[in-house]
Protein backbone atom coordinates (compact mmCIF):
# COMPACT_ATOMS: atom_id res chain seq x y z
CA UNK A 1 0.00 0.00 0.00
CA UNK A 2 1.24 3.45 -0.85
CA UNK A 3 1.79 5.86 1.97
CA UNK A 4 -0.24 9.11 2.00
CA UNK A 5 1.69 12.04 0.68
CA UNK A 6 2.70 14.56 3.26
CA UNK A 7 1.82 18.14 2.60
CA UNK A 8 4.69 20.30 1.53
CA UNK A 9 5.64 23.54 3.27
CA UNK A 10 4.04 25.65 0.54
CA UNK A 11 0.74 23.75 0.85
CA UNK A 12 0.74 24.10 4.62
CA UNK A 13 1.43 27.83 4.27
CA UNK A 14 -1.49 28.24 1.84
CA UNK A 15 -3.81 26.32 4.17
CA UNK A 16 -2.67 28.39 7.16
CA UNK A 17 -3.12 31.63 5.21
CA UNK A 18 -6.56 30.55 3.98
CA UNK A 19 -7.72 29.61 7.45
CA UNK A 20 -6.37 32.88 8.87
CA UNK A 21 -8.24 34.92 6.25
CA UNK A 22 -11.43 32.93 6.83
CA UNK A 23 -11.16 33.44 10.56
CA UNK A 24 -10.55 37.18 10.14
CA UNK A 25 -13.50 37.50 7.76
CA UNK A 26 -15.78 35.66 10.20
CA UNK A 27 -14.60 37.87 13.05
CA UNK A 28 -15.26 41.06 11.09
CA UNK A 29 -18.66 39.83 9.92
CA UNK A 30 -19.69 38.85 13.44
CA UNK A 31 -18.43 42.14 14.90
CA UNK A 32 -20.18 44.21 12.23
CA UNK A 33 -23.46 42.39 12.81
CA UNK A 34 -23.24 42.81 16.57
CA UNK A 35 -22.36 46.50 16.20
CA UNK A 36 -25.36 47.09 13.96
CA UNK A 37 -27.63 45.27 16.38
CA UNK A 38 -26.32 47.37 19.26
CA UNK A 39 -27.09 50.58 17.33
CA UNK A 40 -30.60 49.38 16.52
CA UNK A 41 -31.23 48.79 20.24
CA UNK A 42 -31.12 52.59 20.75
CA UNK A 43 -33.06 53.80 17.68
CA UNK A 44 -33.73 57.36 18.87
CA UNK A 45 -30.13 58.18 19.76
CA UNK A 46 -28.88 56.48 16.60
CA UNK A 47 -31.40 58.32 14.42
CA UNK A 48 -30.42 61.69 15.91
CA UNK A 49 -26.72 61.10 15.24
CA UNK A 50 -27.43 59.85 11.72
CA UNK A 51 -29.65 62.90 11.04
CA UNK A 52 -26.94 65.34 12.13
CA UNK A 53 -24.37 63.59 9.94
CA UNK A 54 -26.80 63.54 7.00
CA UNK A 55 -27.47 67.27 7.28
CA UNK A 56 -23.74 67.97 7.49
CA UNK A 57 -23.16 65.92 4.33
CA UNK A 58 -26.12 67.19 2.30
CA UNK A 59 -25.01 70.85 2.41
CA UNK A 60 -21.68 70.58 0.55
CA UNK A 61 -22.80 67.72 -1.69
CA UNK A 62 -25.94 69.64 -2.65
CA UNK A 63 -23.88 72.74 -3.41
CA UNK A 64 -21.46 70.77 -5.58
CA UNK A 65 -24.38 69.14 -7.38
CA UNK A 66 -25.93 72.56 -7.99
CA UNK A 67 -22.66 73.89 -9.41
CA UNK A 68 -22.36 70.87 -11.68
CA UNK A 69 -25.84 71.53 -13.05
CA UNK A 70 -25.04 75.22 -13.52
CA UNK A 71 -21.91 74.33 -15.48
CA UNK A 72 -23.93 72.05 -17.72
CA UNK A 73 -26.63 74.69 -18.06
CA UNK A 74 -24.12 77.41 -18.99
CA UNK A 75 -22.65 75.18 -21.67
CA UNK A 76 -26.13 74.37 -22.95
CA UNK A 77 -27.11 78.04 -23.06
CA UNK A 78 -23.86 78.84 -24.79
CA UNK A 79 -24.73 76.36 -27.54
CA UNK A 80 -27.95 78.24 -28.36
CA UNK A 81 -26.50 81.75 -28.14
CA UNK A 82 -26.62 83.78 -31.33
CA UNK A 83 -24.01 85.81 -33.15
CA UNK A 84 -25.15 88.86 -35.11
CA UNK A 85 -23.13 89.56 -38.27
CA UNK A 86 -23.95 93.08 -39.56
CA UNK A 87 -23.44 93.50 -43.29
CA UNK A 88 -22.42 96.58 -45.24
CA UNK A 89 -25.07 98.48 -47.18
CA UNK A 90 -23.48 97.45 -50.47
CA UNK A 91 -24.14 93.74 -49.86
CA UNK A 92 -27.15 92.54 -51.85
CA UNK A 93 -29.64 89.91 -50.72
CA UNK A 94 -28.17 87.35 -53.14
CA UNK A 95 -24.66 87.94 -51.82
CA UNK A 96 -25.97 87.63 -48.27
CA UNK A 97 -27.64 84.30 -49.04
CA UNK A 98 -24.41 83.04 -50.59
CA UNK A 99 -22.56 84.06 -47.46
CA UNK A 100 -25.15 82.23 -45.36
CA UNK A 101 -24.54 79.03 -47.33
CA UNK A 102 -20.80 79.38 -46.82
CA UNK A 103 -21.19 79.90 -43.09
CA UNK A 104 -23.42 76.84 -42.72
CA UNK A 105 -20.58 74.73 -44.10
CA UNK A 106 -18.42 75.58 -41.09
CA UNK A 107 -18.15 72.93 -38.37
CA UNK A 108 -18.52 75.52 -35.60
CA UNK A 109 -21.77 76.94 -37.02
CA UNK A 110 -25.02 75.14 -36.33
CA UNK A 111 -27.42 77.38 -38.21
CA UNK A 112 -27.35 80.69 -40.12
CA UNK A 113 -30.22 82.92 -41.26
CA UNK A 114 -30.27 86.15 -43.26
CA UNK A 115 -32.47 89.00 -42.00
CA UNK A 116 -32.97 91.67 -44.62
CA UNK A 117 -33.29 95.37 -43.67
CA UNK A 118 -37.01 95.19 -44.41
CA UNK A 119 -37.50 92.17 -42.12
CA UNK A 120 -35.41 93.85 -39.46
CA UNK A 121 -37.61 96.93 -39.64
CA UNK A 122 -40.75 94.82 -39.26
CA UNK A 123 -39.33 93.05 -36.21
CA UNK A 124 -38.23 96.38 -34.74
CA UNK A 125 -41.73 97.84 -35.15
CA UNK A 126 -43.37 94.71 -33.73
CA UNK A 127 -41.20 94.30 -30.61
CA UNK A 128 -39.83 97.76 -29.75
CA UNK A 129 -42.98 99.84 -29.74
CA UNK A 130 -41.10 102.62 -31.56
CA UNK A 131 -42.67 102.17 -34.98
CA UNK A 132 -43.56 105.85 -35.25
CA UNK A 133 -39.93 106.85 -34.85
CA UNK A 134 -38.82 104.50 -37.60
CA UNK A 135 -41.67 105.59 -39.88
CA UNK A 136 -40.66 109.24 -39.49
CA UNK A 137 -37.22 108.54 -41.03
CA UNK A 138 -36.71 109.07 -44.74
CA UNK A 139 -34.99 105.72 -45.21
CA UNK A 140 -34.53 102.46 -43.35
CA UNK A 141 -31.36 102.77 -41.21
CA UNK A 142 -31.20 99.08 -40.33
CA UNK A 143 -28.53 97.01 -42.09
CA UNK A 144 -28.84 93.46 -43.29
CA UNK A 145 -27.93 90.94 -40.59
CA UNK A 146 -26.90 87.30 -40.61
CA UNK A 147 -27.96 85.63 -37.37
CA UNK A 148 -26.05 82.43 -36.74
CA UNK A 149 -26.06 79.88 -33.94
CA UNK A 150 -22.64 78.45 -33.09
CA UNK A 151 -22.13 74.82 -32.16
CA UNK A 152 -20.16 75.65 -29.03
CA UNK A 153 -19.58 78.84 -27.10
CA UNK A 154 -16.43 78.41 -25.07
CA UNK A 155 -13.94 81.24 -24.86
CA UNK A 156 -11.38 79.95 -27.36
CA UNK A 157 -13.91 78.74 -29.93
CA UNK A 158 -15.93 81.95 -29.74
CA UNK A 159 -12.88 84.15 -30.27
CA UNK A 160 -11.80 82.09 -33.27
CA UNK A 161 -15.28 82.31 -34.77
CA UNK A 162 -15.47 86.07 -34.22
CA UNK A 163 -12.08 86.66 -35.82
CA UNK A 164 -13.05 84.65 -38.90
CA UNK A 165 -16.40 86.42 -39.23
CA UNK A 166 -14.86 89.88 -38.95
CA UNK A 167 -12.48 89.07 -41.80
CA UNK A 168 -15.20 88.10 -44.26
CA UNK A 169 -15.85 90.47 -47.20
CA UNK A 170 -18.94 92.62 -46.81
CA UNK A 171 -19.05 92.26 -43.01
CA UNK A 172 -19.24 95.56 -41.18
CA UNK A 173 -19.19 94.29 -37.58
CA UNK A 174 -19.86 91.21 -35.46
CA UNK A 175 -21.63 91.30 -32.12
CA UNK A 176 -21.45 88.60 -29.47
CA UNK A 177 -21.79 89.31 -25.77
CA UNK A 178 -19.26 87.04 -24.10
CA UNK A 179 -19.08 89.06 -20.91
CA UNK A 180 -21.95 87.23 -19.22
CA UNK A 181 -20.41 83.87 -20.10
CA UNK A 182 -17.05 84.86 -18.64
CA UNK A 183 -18.70 86.30 -15.52
CA UNK A 184 -20.71 83.13 -15.05
CA UNK A 185 -17.62 80.96 -15.42
CA UNK A 186 -15.72 83.04 -12.88
CA UNK A 187 -18.63 82.87 -10.45
CA UNK A 188 -18.83 79.12 -10.89
CA UNK A 189 -15.09 78.80 -10.28
CA UNK A 190 -15.34 80.89 -7.12
CA UNK A 191 -18.38 78.98 -5.90
CA UNK A 192 -16.64 75.68 -6.66
CA UNK A 193 -13.69 76.59 -4.46
CA UNK A 194 -16.03 77.76 -1.71
CA UNK A 195 -17.94 74.48 -1.97
CA UNK A 196 -14.70 72.50 -1.77
CA UNK A 197 -13.71 74.40 1.37
CA UNK A 198 -17.16 73.87 2.86
CA UNK A 199 -16.96 70.18 2.01
CA UNK A 200 -13.63 69.88 3.82
CA UNK A 201 -14.90 71.69 6.91
CA UNK A 202 -18.11 69.71 7.13
CA UNK A 203 -16.28 66.42 6.52
CA UNK A 204 -14.15 67.26 9.54
CA UNK A 205 -17.38 68.06 11.36
CA UNK A 206 -18.77 64.63 10.46
CA UNK A 207 -15.60 62.99 11.79
CA UNK A 208 -15.81 64.99 15.03
CA UNK A 209 -19.52 64.19 15.47
CA UNK A 210 -18.84 60.50 15.02
CA UNK A 211 -15.80 60.65 17.28
CA UNK A 212 -17.72 62.35 20.07
CA UNK A 213 -20.53 59.78 19.80
CA UNK A 214 -18.01 56.94 19.95
CA UNK A 215 -16.35 58.58 22.96
CA UNK A 216 -19.65 58.53 24.82
CA UNK A 217 -20.12 54.90 23.82
CA UNK A 218 -16.66 54.05 25.16
CA UNK A 219 -17.42 55.72 28.47
CA UNK A 220 -20.72 53.87 28.70
CA UNK A 221 -19.01 50.52 28.18
CA UNK A 222 -15.98 51.16 30.37
CA UNK A 223 -16.69 48.21 32.67
CA UNK A 224 -17.10 45.86 29.70
CA UNK A 225 -13.82 47.08 28.19
CA UNK A 226 -11.99 46.49 31.48
CA UNK A 227 -13.30 42.91 31.63
CA UNK A 228 -12.25 42.22 28.03
CA UNK A 229 -8.74 43.46 28.75
CA UNK A 230 -8.55 41.41 31.95
CA UNK A 231 -9.18 38.20 30.01
CA UNK A 232 -6.46 39.05 27.49
CA UNK A 233 -8.25 41.15 24.89
CA UNK A 234 -6.06 43.61 23.01
CA UNK A 235 -6.85 47.22 22.15
CA UNK A 236 -7.48 46.13 18.56
CA UNK A 237 -10.07 43.60 19.68
CA UNK A 238 -11.82 46.19 21.82
CA UNK A 239 -11.65 48.92 19.16
CA UNK A 240 -13.13 46.91 16.28
CA UNK A 241 -16.82 47.14 17.36
CA UNK A 242 -16.50 50.90 17.86
CA UNK A 243 -14.95 51.30 14.41
CA UNK A 244 -17.86 49.48 12.83
CA UNK A 245 -20.29 51.64 14.79
CA UNK A 246 -18.60 54.73 13.38
CA UNK A 247 -18.77 53.33 9.86
CA UNK A 248 -22.48 52.58 10.28
CA UNK A 249 -23.09 56.10 11.57
CA UNK A 250 -21.39 57.55 8.51
CA UNK A 251 -23.19 55.16 6.15
CA UNK A 252 -26.57 56.02 7.68
CA UNK A 253 -25.82 59.74 7.38
CA UNK A 254 -24.81 59.30 3.74
CA UNK A 255 -28.05 57.42 3.01
CA UNK A 256 -30.02 60.23 4.67
CA UNK A 257 -28.15 62.85 2.65
CA UNK A 258 -28.83 60.94 -0.55
CA UNK A 259 -32.55 60.76 0.25
CA UNK A 260 -32.69 64.50 0.97
CA UNK A 261 -30.94 65.28 -2.30
CA UNK A 262 -33.31 62.99 -4.18
CA UNK A 263 -36.34 64.68 -2.63
CA UNK A 264 -34.90 68.11 -3.45
CA UNK A 265 -34.32 67.14 -7.08
CA UNK A 266 -37.83 65.70 -7.25
CA UNK A 267 -39.34 68.97 -6.03
CA UNK A 268 -37.22 71.18 -8.31
CA UNK A 269 -37.35 69.09 -11.49
CA UNK A 270 -40.78 70.22 -12.65
CA UNK A 271 -40.48 74.00 -12.10
CA UNK A 272 -36.89 74.06 -13.36
CA UNK A 273 -37.84 72.15 -16.52
CA UNK A 274 -40.71 74.56 -17.19
CA UNK A 275 -38.41 77.56 -16.77
CA UNK A 276 -35.74 76.10 -19.06
CA UNK A 277 -38.35 75.30 -21.69
CA UNK A 278 -39.43 78.94 -21.71
CA UNK A 279 -35.83 79.88 -22.51
CA UNK A 280 -35.70 77.34 -25.32
CA UNK A 281 -33.28 74.99 -23.58
CA UNK A 282 -33.63 71.20 -23.45
CA UNK A 283 -31.26 70.88 -20.48
CA UNK A 284 -32.40 68.57 -17.69
CA UNK A 285 -31.27 68.69 -14.08
CA UNK A 286 -28.87 65.91 -13.19
CA UNK A 287 -28.83 64.09 -9.86
CA UNK A 288 -26.02 62.18 -8.22
CA UNK A 289 -26.38 59.12 -10.42
CA UNK A 290 -25.10 55.64 -9.50
CA UNK A 291 -21.46 56.71 -9.39
CA UNK A 292 -22.09 59.79 -7.27
CA UNK A 293 -24.37 57.85 -4.93
CA UNK A 294 -21.78 55.12 -4.44
CA UNK A 295 -19.10 57.76 -3.79
CA UNK A 296 -21.34 59.46 -1.21
CA UNK A 297 -21.99 56.18 0.63
CA UNK A 298 -18.32 55.23 0.57
CA UNK A 299 -17.23 58.70 1.70
CA UNK A 300 -19.71 58.74 4.58
CA UNK A 301 -18.59 55.31 5.76
CA UNK A 302 -14.92 56.27 5.60
CA UNK A 303 -15.51 59.51 7.49
CA UNK A 304 -17.40 57.64 10.21
CA UNK A 305 -14.64 55.05 10.44
CA UNK A 306 -11.94 57.73 10.68
CA UNK A 307 -13.85 59.65 13.34
CA UNK A 308 -14.27 56.50 15.38
CA UNK A 309 -10.59 55.64 14.91
CA UNK A 310 -9.47 59.03 16.25
CA UNK A 311 -11.76 58.70 19.26
CA UNK A 312 -10.70 55.13 19.97
CA UNK A 313 -7.00 55.96 19.85
CA UNK A 314 -7.48 58.89 22.19
CA UNK A 315 -9.77 57.37 24.82
CA UNK A 316 -9.40 53.60 24.68
CA UNK A 317 -5.77 53.50 25.80
CA UNK A 318 -6.70 55.39 28.96
CA UNK A 319 -8.96 52.52 30.11
CA UNK A 320 -6.80 49.89 31.79
CA UNK A 321 -7.69 47.32 34.48
CA UNK A 322 -6.28 48.09 37.92
pLDDT digits (tens, 9 = 90+) for 86-140: 888 888 888 888 888 888 888 777 788 888 877 777 776 666 666 565 566 667 6
- Cα 18 to chain centroid distance, Å, stands at 41
pTM: 0.63
Domain count, the chain: 2
- Whether 227 and 261 map to the same domain: the answer is yes
Query: Does residue 248 form part of some domain?
Result: yes
State the Cα–Cα distance between residues 307 and 250, nearest whole angstrom.
Answer: 9
Four-CA torsion 250, 252, 253, 259, nearest 10 degrees: 150
Query: Does residue 158 form part of some domain?
Result: yes
What pairs with residue 163 in β-bridges? none
Element (H, E) at 87: strand 83-87
Element (H, E) at 122: helix 117-128
- Whether 222 and 98 map to the same domain: the answer is no
Question: Of 121, 153, 175, which one is at a domain's C-terminal end?
Answer: 175
- Whether 64 and 209 map to the same domain: the answer is yes
> What's the DSSP call for residue 151?
S
- Whether 128 and 276 map to the same domain: the answer is no
Q: What is the pLDDT of residue 104?
A: 83
Measure the CA angle with vertex 109, ends 105 and 110; round to 5°: 100
Residue 87's domain spans which residues?
82-175
Band (254; pLDDT cuts 50, 70, 90): very high
- Whether 162 and 283 map to the same domain: the answer is no
Query: Does residue 160 form part of some domain?
Result: yes
Query: Does residue 322 form part of some domain?
Result: no
State the Cα–Cα distance between residues 319 and 156, nearest whole angstrom.
Answer: 64
Whole-angstrom distance between the N-terminal and C-terminal Cα of the chain? Answer: 62
Average pLDDT, the chain: 78
Amino acid sequence: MSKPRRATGAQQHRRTLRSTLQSAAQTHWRTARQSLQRLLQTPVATAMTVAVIGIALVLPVGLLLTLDNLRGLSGNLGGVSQVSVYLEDSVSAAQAETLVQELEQREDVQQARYVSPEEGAEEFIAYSGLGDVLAALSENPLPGVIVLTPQLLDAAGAQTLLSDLEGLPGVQSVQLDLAWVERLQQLLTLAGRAAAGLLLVLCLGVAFITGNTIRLAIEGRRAEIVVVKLVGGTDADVALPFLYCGAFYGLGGAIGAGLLLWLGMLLLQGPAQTLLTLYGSDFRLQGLGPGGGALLLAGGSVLGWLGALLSVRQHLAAIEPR
